[in-house]
Amino acid sequence: MNSTLPVCAASTSFALPAARSTYDYHPLDAQAAEATPLAEEVALAIAYNGLNQAVMLVSPTDLEDFVVGFSVGSGIVADLSDLYDLTLSGSGSALYADVQISSRAFWALKDQRRQLAGTSGCGLCGVEALEQALPELSALPGAPLPPAAWLQGLRQRIEPFQVLGQDCGAVHAALFMDAHGELLLGREDIGRHNALDKVIGALLRQGVETAGGLAIVTSRCSLELIQKVLRAGIQTLVSLSAPTGLATQWARRHNLNLIHLPKHSAPRVFSPVREP
């Protein structure tokens, strides 16, 4: 990851909705109303150079980090040098992100969309969609596994970064641990992909050096998370839930260290494969 790239500007003059709100409910066997906090979500429409690309349901926190991380983690741009400007607007549960990107990245995006829209019949559009779901990504150079001490008590150590989750539940967390084994930052979101996008975006916007560090996700580890970490150039991913088989295959093929941290047993290294 290139930490010397400029940080894109972001306009946050509008009022973000609250990340949590209190809602009344009735216990099943009682009439008296009680109240509990619930995590909020909003619809965020993302457009690149005026071209609508996606509508994502996200937690209304760290949205600049999310948009930057989504752009890089989804392969829309290669890095921050292709991101020129970011403006957030909207109100209530309908928000908008207008992103200005380089001509090179925009033409690639439009070409990708033309390929998907231009195919029809005989299952060709399915073939194109598979190519987008299983893209050709560069393998990482490989890195040493983290010391076992870095993972000791990790579930308890990440709790301070899960304020929203502890308050009302229903959200995932993603974090980054630096090359000294220190938990540097964390992000939360209703979507597991969104939480990781926010962490990647935060690392890029803050110019954090990722060499020797690792990403941590509290959710199920599927292929999409592997792809996002590979594109971000992070060499180790620790998941608190088990990875899928396909995620493991991709981690091995691309030299990504993949570690599952079960709740009641020792860490399991799925990639790289150790020689017998």
End-to-end CA distance of the chain: 33
Beta bridge partners of 23: 36
Q: What is the rounded CA–CA span in Å between residue 270 and residue 272? A: 6
Beta bridge partners of 238: 216, 259
Cβ atoms of 60 and 17 within 8 Å: the answer is: yes
What pLDDT shows up at residue 3? Answer: 37
Phi, psi of 118 (to 5 degrees): -85, -15
What pLDDT shows up at residue 26? Answer: 64
User: Which residues form the catalytic set?
Assistant: 122
Strands (E), the chain: 9-11, 20-25, 34-39, 42-48, 51-58, 83-91, 94-101, 172-177, 183-189, 214-217, 236-239, 257-260, 268-271
What pLDDT shows up at residue 127? Answer: 43
Backbone CA torsion sign across 258, 245, 229, 184: negative
pLDDT along the chain (276 residues), means of 10: 45 75 75 84 92 92 96 94 94 91 95 58 44 84 94 95 92 97 97 96 96 95 93 96 90 94 90 77
